[in-house]
Copies of this chain bind each other. A is one copy, B any other.
């Protein structure tokens, strides 16, 4: 069998193989994975090695396993903490509500000094910019302004974001190594308030997120939420033995 990379551990190759199938949608949530025995035969490796790969996927929340039944692609990606917000579309649909993504802009612009610094480019270089409004039952809940590094995602402008919102497109196509979140409370500008159909006196949650692949910046995005219609949450169950406070 061919090697993807020089001497990547066998268990890691199995993990990548399965992760890819999940990520690109070949194996949707709830889909049953091949059994350990089948993977042993398929990869020509020992069961302990397959078992380690699957155990680590469980730890990462990618799959769930039931002894005597099988292994399945995990339903939700509770991810950790703030990542939940990345998938506002599925979150809204999960509540049984209508979701709509309205594109206000998709364009190529010259990077301002700020944006250039954030994306580690030179000012004036070409970057992709998008502005879109996410609606829950036609009520605006998030104004998303995004800059994307064209070196990493050259096809960004060609996508139909009304079918697949920018965040989901990036999730499915760009692997990342690092993610940074900042959360602020702000008052909206007049223009933002108008897009969000809210008062300028009402506070908003502002989530700023940057992601990297290797050490290359991929995207910088600011998500503005009327606080009365959106809150950020996370539930965490302990693995080890940390403490409360």
Which A residues have a C-beta under 8 Å from some C-beta of B?
Answer: 15-16, 19, 23, 48, 56-57, 59-62, 77, 79-83, 86-87, 166-187, 201, 203-206, 211, 213, 218-219, 225, 227, 231-245
Complex: A19 Cα to B239 Cα, angstroms: 13
Which of B56, B176, B201, B235 contacts A244 (CB under 8 A)? B176
Known: A81-B181, A173-B243, A179-B238. 16 other contacts (CB 8 A): A19-B241, A48-B48, A61-B240, A83-B242, A86-B245, A169-B245, A171-B243, A172-B243, A174-B244, A175-B241, A175-B243, A180-B235, A183-B183, A183-B205, A185-B204, A219-B244
Question: Across the interface, do B171 and A245 meet the contact criterion of CB distance under 8 Å?
Answer: yes
Query: In the complex, what residues of B have CB within 8 A of residue A176's CB?
Result: 238, 242-244
A179 touches B244 (CB 8 A): yes
Q: For A183, what are the chain B residues with a Cβ–Cβ distance below 8 Å?
A: 183, 205, 231-233
List B contacts of A218 (CB < 8 A): 244
Report B-chain residues with C-beta under 8 Å of the C-beta of A227.
184-186
CB<8 Å pairs between A and B, sample of 30:
A19-B240, A23-B243, A48-B48, A60-B240, A60-B242, A61-B240, A79-B242, A80-B81, A81-B181, A83-B236, A83-B242, A169-B245, A170-B244, A171-B243, A171-B244, A173-B243, A174-B244, A178-B237, A180-B234, A180-B235, A181-B232, A181-B234, A184-B205, A184-B227, A185-B206, A187-B203, A203-B204, A213-B244, A218-B244, A219-B244
Whether A179 contacts B236 in the complex (CB less than 8 A), given A79-B242, A186-B227, comes out as yes
The residue in chain B whose Cβ has the minimal distance to the Cβ of A18 is B241
Q: A60, B239: Cβ atoms under 8 Å?
A: yes
Q: Report the nearest B residue to A209, measured CB to CB.
A: B245
User: Which residue in B15, B184, B240 is a CB contact (below 8 Å) of A56?
Assistant: B240
If A81-B82, A205-B184, A234-B81 touch, does A175 touch B15 (CB 8 Å cutoff)?
no
Residues of B within 8 A of A239 (CB): 60
B238 x A182 contact (CB < 8 A): no
Q: How far is the CB of A172 from chain B (nearest CB, A)?
A: 7
Which of chain B's residues have a CB closer than 8 A to the CB of A174?
243-244
